[in-house]
Each structure stands twice: as C-alpha cells, then as structure tokens.
Amino acid sequence: MKTVRRITGIILIISAAALSFAGENGESAPDEGALKIAVIDFDGVVDRVMLNTLKRRVDEAVEDGADILLFELTTKGGALSSANEIADLILGQKAHTIMFVKKEALSAGVLISLAAKEVYIQPDAMFGLAAPWDLADLFFSDEETRKELGPLREKMKSQLLDKYRRICEKNKYNYDLVRSMIEFEKEFIVVVYIDHDGNTDQTVIPRRSLDSFRTKYEVIEPKGGWQPLGEGVLILNGEQASQFGLGSKVAGTREDIIETIKDQYADKAGISLDDPQRDSLVQVKEYKRTWWEVLITFLAQPLPWITIFMIGLLGLFIEFKTPGFGVPGAIGAACIFLFFFISYVAALATWIEPIMFTIGVVLMLLEIFVIPGFGAAGISGILLMAAAAVLAMQDFTFPTTEFQWSHMLKNAGWLSLGLIFLLAAAWAFARYFPRARGVAGHIIAFGPEPAEVHGGAAKDDIHAGLVGQSGSAETALRPAGRAIINGRRYDVVTRGSFIDPHDKIIVTEVSGNRIVVRRAEA
C-alpha cells in the first residue's frame, strides 16, 4: 500500500512539474477566449516564390484559428501577376487582415497593401509609385499618344485601374488618391475641403481635377495660392498618407499595432486599460519562413539563378574538354539540376522544361559526334536549351499580355548576359589550358590501320609522321570532322577555328589518336 502511495505521489509531482514547465515556455493550452493574432512578414521582390511561402503560412495560421492576420511588408515591387494573386489571397480571408508597411511599399506593393482591411504605415515609410514599369508608357503619355495605343494595351490599363477601384471600394480607401499613385500628372496640389459630414479635411489631387473636385465638395480656397506637391507619380510617406485621407494609419512598430488591438478588444470586453487581464486578451504567434524558403527566395532572384545555370554549362564544357567524368562534370550536372529544381519549387516549371533541355543536349552531342557539319540538329539543340532556360524562369509559356512580353524579354536578357559570361569563361579555359584532352581527343581515325609499331614504340608515335603533312577537309571541321591526308581518311580536330569542306589543311600536332589541324595558308 505504501508503495502504491509512493508511486502515485511521484506521478503527481512529475505531472505538476511538467505543467509548470509548459506554462513557463508558452506551450500551455491557449485561452479559448483570447484573440489570436498571426504575424506574417514578407519582404523583397514580389514573385511566385513570395506568393507560395505566403500562402503556406496563411493556410497554417487559418488552420490554427487565427482571428487577425497581421502582415508586415517591405517591397520595391515586382511581378504584377504575382501581386494580383497575393492581393486576391488576402482579400479572400475571413479573418480580419491588417497590413503593416515597415520601410516601403512601392509599385506592386501598393496593390498588396490595399488588399488588407486596415493599413498601418511607418511615419517615414514610402508608399506609392504604383505604375508598373512595363506599362509606364500607358500612364506617362499625353492624350494624343494614348489615342494611338492599341486596344489590348488600353484594356490592360482599364483592368489595372478597375482592380484598384474595386479594392478601394471594398476596404474603404481613397481611390482618387490611389489613382494619383498610378497615373502621371504634371502637378499635384493639396486641397482643403469640407466633406459630406461637415468635417474639414484635406487631400492631394491633380491640378487638372480641381474643377471636378469642386462639384463634389466645398473647397476652401487658400489665401496664398495652391500648395504644389510635385509631379510625376505620387509617392507619400506614412504621415502624409494618413494626413491626406488615404484611409491608412500611422504606427512605428508591430507592438504599437498589437497594443491598439488590445485596447479595442479590452473596450469591447469592458476591461479597463490598467486591468492585469488586459495582456491575456490576445495571443500572438509569428509564422516565419523556413530556412529552405529563405534559401529558395535568394536563389530564385535573376542574378544568382542565371549564375547557377551558367556555372552548370561551364562545368559541362570543361568536362567535355578534359578526360573522364570528374569534378567539373559533377558540378555542372548538379548546377543544372539545381536551376530546374529552383524553378519547380517556385512553381514556375514542370517536367517539360528539363526534358526540353535534355533533348537539346542530346541533339548537340549528335551534331558533334554523329552528324557531320553543323546543321539542323545543332541549331535545334541550342534553341531547345535556351527555350528551356527562359521558360523555367516564368510561369507562362507564350506571352499574351504586355507584362508577360516584358517579363519574357527580361528573362532573355538575363540569359544573354549569362551566355556572355559563359563564352568569356570558355575562351579563357581554352586559351590557358590548350592541351586539355577531352572527348574530341578520343575520336579514332577509321582509315587504313597504321604500320605495326616495332620495338615497343610509344602509342603517341603512331601518327607522329603526319605532323607537317598537308591534306583537305572532307567534311566541315567545327571543330571535329574528317580529312584526307596522303590519300587516307582521318578523324581530325581544329584548334577552335571552323574549316569548310575541301579547304586545304595542315597537321600541326599529334597526340595518340588525336590529330590537330589548321587551315593551310594560301
């Protein structure tokens, strides 16, 4: 009996200690009456990677029963298509959504911010400049030029403005002020007016819209003339956005916003601000990006991404120039795999792009080793490899909008810069490692067998007598091909330059079965 009591006492002590430990580390069961706030930060370029990591964390927060989604945003902008999807994701949430702009929310960041039901902006944070750069000529042109724009581009402009209008109407933001952040204007002015409730307020409007503004509100004419606020596309700081009636609020830190939420919730619950229970009214949980998402976010940026691809191609080139399958080939293959893997994780590519690239490599190898000359197979291989690389960097196949065209051209530009780096690196390798024997050096001549080597002659002396001999190219040498030397047919390779069929050649070097030739001087 004493033993049972002793065991029971030990169990109770251990249970009490476990409960105490859980409480100290915040792992105890949450108060069911507490307001759950999920904090989700995202910054950097707006793209598919941002969309995917944001969606994962939002789904996790909703599954945990979050009542408020508090987003923290810092961005200079990015892909409009991704910004649209992020905005729709935020608009579709049943939980109350709050956007906290910490340093800046420019371009596509404006669309994302306004999708939240409340927007807080740091006092000095920049907000605006929402005209997408690829549509800049739509907004930065005069009336005469706009009439010349095609119907597709006008439709795109209309769709973009309509998206902002619907979001502003739903979340009660000042659409006229937001529109000034999108369209180019020659002059903005600060207007003081009396609203429909009889309150005095102020906002920023284009100078040309003053007459139409007077038809809606009673404008207080300034004594010293209208106060100009610059030209171009409107950009405001947090203080100005709140002052000029955007509908946003000012907050310095996340904690300021959470304290405001506590005050509002305490007021509804009838709890005084100095009541100790106030701090237990809300439960805050931060949903961070995983280390894997941080890594993919970095690698998916154009410069590191295309660099990985070019290192992969360079590794394969070096492996081709050197014997065996060693370190360069392994690194090259790993980088090519990583390039397409990043694209797959970012939801930009499927299995089609790697297959296209593989077919392109096979066609290139066929062109070098099987098919003489440099024709359809080689060109098709290069085009397939380039197309696979470009498609892996975008979430569409054929561009149908102005933005998609510009995005595809940007990807092609990055690829072109990468190819320049690749060619320079390949030239440097060929220049400073000219004697590296690669696959081309293992091509065996199929002419009549050379005379038997007597007295244990070295293998490198088999064709030694050909050095200095003349002949003609039977096929195009680009750089490998066939040549006729002293009436015999040999597989040969040039030192970089291409030689057309029937051109005169001269043997400059023999190394084993590798015969190096150059064009004979006329």
The per-residue pLDDT for 196 is 82
What is residue 522's predicted lDDT score, i.e. its pLDDT?
Answer: 64
Which of the pair, 365 or 74, is modelled with greater confidence? 74
In the predicted model, is pLDDT for residue 464 greater than 70? no
pLDDT digits (tens, 9 = 90+) for 150-164: 555 666 677 888 999
Between CA 4 and CA 1 the distance in angstroms is 5
Q: Is the pLDDT higher at 221 or at 469?
A: 469
Closest by alpha carbon to 131, among 103, 161, 99? 161
Q: Are 505 and 499 in contact (CB under 8 A)?
A: yes
Q: How does pLDDT run across 387-397, given as a tens digit for each residue? A: 888 888 877 77
Instruction: Please state the rounded mean pLDDT for residues 261-269.
Output: 81
Span 294-327, pLDDT tens digits: 888 888 888 888 888 888 888 888 877 765 557 8
Q: Please answer whether residues 153 and 402 qualify as being in contact, where contact means their C-beta atoms are separated by less than 8 angstroms.
A: yes
The pLDDT score that the predictor gives to residue 185 is: 77
Q: Residue 209 carries which side chain, given as an amino acid letter?
A: S
pLDDT tier, 187 (very low <50, low <70, confident <90, very high otherwise): confident
Share of the chain above pLDDT 90, in %: 20
The predicted pLDDT at position 69 comes to: 96
Give pLDDT, residue 421: 84
Which residue has tokens 């933001």? 173
State phi, psi for 118 to the nearest 5 degrees: -135, 145
Report the pLDDT value the prediction gives residue 169, as an integer from 0 to 100.
Answer: 94
Give the model's pLDDT for residue 41: 94
* E strand or H helix that includes residue 203: strand 200-206
Greatest mean pLDDT among 4-8, 356-360, 423-427: 356-360
> Using 50, 70 and 90 to split pLDDT, how confident is the model at 134?
low
Backbone angles phi, psi at 255, to 5 degrees: -60, -35
Pick the more confident residue, 265 or 57. Answer: 57
DSSP-based three-state secondary structure for 128: strand
Is residue 198 predicted with pLDDT exceeding 60?
Answer: yes
Residue 156: how many other CB atoms lie within 10 Å? 20
Evaluate whether 241 touches 248 at the Cβ level (below 8 Å).
yes
pLDDT-wise least confident of 175-184, 224-233, 477-486: 224-233
Q: Across all residues in the chain, what is the average pLDDT?
A: 78
pLDDT at 285 over 90: yes
CA dist 44 and 54 (Å) reads: 12
pTM exceeds 0.75, yes or no = no
Tokens of 496: 């970089």
Do 118 and 70 contact (CB within 8 A), yes or no? no
H or E stretch covering 41: strand 35-43
- Residue 70: band (very low, low, confident or very high) from pLDDT cuts 50, 70, 90: very high
What is the structure's pLDDT at 420?
A: 86
Q: Which pLDDT value is given to residue 372?
A: 58
Contacts 24+ apart (CB under 8 A), 177-180: 177/203, 177/204, 177/205, 177/234, 177/244, 177/245, 177/246, 178/110, 178/114, 178/130, 178/246, 180/204, 180/205, 180/206, 180/233, 180/234
378/254: higher pLDDT: 254
Which pLDDT value is given to residue 166? 95
Lowest mean pLDDT among 1-10, 92-101, 392-401: 1-10
Q: What digits encode the pLDDT tens for the residues 339-374?
A: 888 888 776 667 888 889 888 888 887 877 666 555
Torsion (CA) 179, 181, 184, 187 in degrees, nearest 10: 100
Contact between 473 and 483 (Cβ < 8 Å): yes
Hey, what are 15's tokens? Answer: 């249970």
86 HSE (CA, 13 A, CB side)? 31
Question: What pLDDT band is residue 408 in, cutting at 50, 70 and 90?
Answer: confident
Please determine, for residue 101, whether its predicted confidence score (pLDDT) is greater than 90: yes
The dihedrals phi and psi of 214, each to the nearest 5 degrees, come to -65, -25
Residue 224 pLDDT class (50, 70, 90 cuts): low
The residues near 251 (Cβ < 8 Å, ≥ 6 apart) are 100, 120, 121, 122, 257, 260
Percent of the chain whose pLDDT exceeds 70: 74
Q: Which of 206-210, 236-240, 340-344 has the highest mean pLDDT?
A: 236-240
Strands 488-494 and 504-511: unpaired
Task: Kindly give the pairing relationship between strand 188-194 and strand 218-219.
Answer: antiparallel
Of the candidate ranges 43-57, 146-160, 375-389, 398-412, the one whose mean pLDDT is the lowest: 146-160
In sequence order, which residues have a C-beta less than 8 Å from that of residue 35 and are 6 or more positions away? 67, 68, 261, 265, 281, 282, 283
Give the C-alpha separation, 403 to 132, whole Å.
9
Q: With the CA atoms of 311, 312, 313 and 314 taken in that order, what torsion angle do they form, in degrees rounded to the nearest 10?
A: 40
